[in-house]
Every structure is written in structure tokens, then in C-alpha cells.
Structure 1
Amino acid sequence: METLVFRFEQGQRRIPTAAQLVGVVSSGNLEVLVSRAELQAACEIEVNTAAIGFAPIWQAVMDDFQARWQLADVRIAINDMGATPAVVSLRLDQAIEACLESAP
């Protein structure tokens, strides 16, 4: 397993829900847990992956994701067993959309 950590500063969008889980590692090979955290307007993403040696691809996917959402005070945990970049992007978007939809 490889652990990658990404941090993006000065986000603009906060999520209204405390936490949201999307996907299952055994189904689609990826799960995403999104939660609020006091990070001084940053977004932190930790990836635990079985696919070792793909850090540049993960960086590109995370850069694209943060460019779309501009998240602030959000911590994301990703557990991956070899999902493609397209599936990763889809699950990340799905998790944020679920957070926004479940707002009171």
C-alpha cells in the first residue's frame, strides 16, 4: 500500500454536512469519505492505494478536482484498490454532490 497526501490552500467552498461516504472498496474499487475539518481554508486529501508508483497521476486528478470544487475546511480520505482516474473523479464529484444535497 502507498499513502499519498495532497493539500490545497485557500479554498472557497465549505460543505454543509459533517461527513459523507461514497463507494465501497470492493465495488468499483474505491471509497471516498468527505468530512469537515478546521484546516484554515485548506482541503486535505489522503489516498491509500494498492497501485504503487502512480503519484503523478493522482496529483493530476486531485488538481483537477480541486480546480472544479475549490473546497475549504474539508478532509477527504480515499481508499483505493486500483480504480481508474475516471472512476476516482466520478466518486469524488459524487461525494461532494452528496454533501451538498444533504444540507438541511
Structure 2
Amino acid sequence: RRRGYRILARNVRAGGVELDLIVRRGRDLAFVEVKTRSSQRTGLPELAVDFKKQRRLTQGAEAWLRAHRHIGLRPRFDVIACEVSGFKTSQEQWSLRHFKNAFEACETGPSF
């Protein structure tokens, strides 16, 4: 909100897919995937949004747009990567990275 975004939905299901955040600023409509890691053993959080996840997010976004008819807006896909160190201690520190236009909408139809 501090950056001028209006939250339209949180943790909403559309097309069988959970969408973490749907936000709007002006004519921009962002479908935001939030990934959090407390350890880098499993890799950077943003790398968890692989092609398979991108396809599912695209499917969910398409279903949400069909149901809500936000005409004239520019949809995009963002990723917010959260890393926390010292989890559940007095030394807990958070790091956030916001990747705007992190990926393009994927083809969601059947692949032959």
C-alpha cells in the first residue's frame, strides 16, 4: 500500500489456483506470487516460480479476469521474494525483493 497499490484480493482461488495477491495501481493490475524462504538450502525464493508454476498462475489470472471484467487494465505477473534469517529469534531479519513483470503469461491450453 505504501507504494500506491490497492489490494483487490488476497489468497483468492480462481480456476483452481490460489493467487496470493491481486493489486492495482492506476491502469496496472498485478497478480503477485509471494515466495518466502528461511534458508537458502532450497534455493532463492524467486526461483520457485518455475514454468509449471507460471502456467498455473496464468490459468488462475485468466479465470479471475473472466469473472471480474477489469476492462482497460494492463495485467502483469510480479514475484515478491522474502528471505528471513534468524527466524523466530530476537535477531530475525527480513529481506524483500519485488520483481515487476517477472514473467509473461503462458499458454494454458492443451499442448499437442
Question: Normalising by the residue count of structure 2, what TM-score does the alignment of the two structures yield?
Answer: 0.32
Q: For the pair shown, which has the larger CA radius of gyration, 1 or 2?
A: 2
Higher relative contact order (CA 8 A, sep 6+): 1
More strand by share: 2
User: What is the TM-score with the length of structure 1 in the denominator?
Assistant: 0.34
Answer 1 or 2: which has greater helix percent. Answer: 1
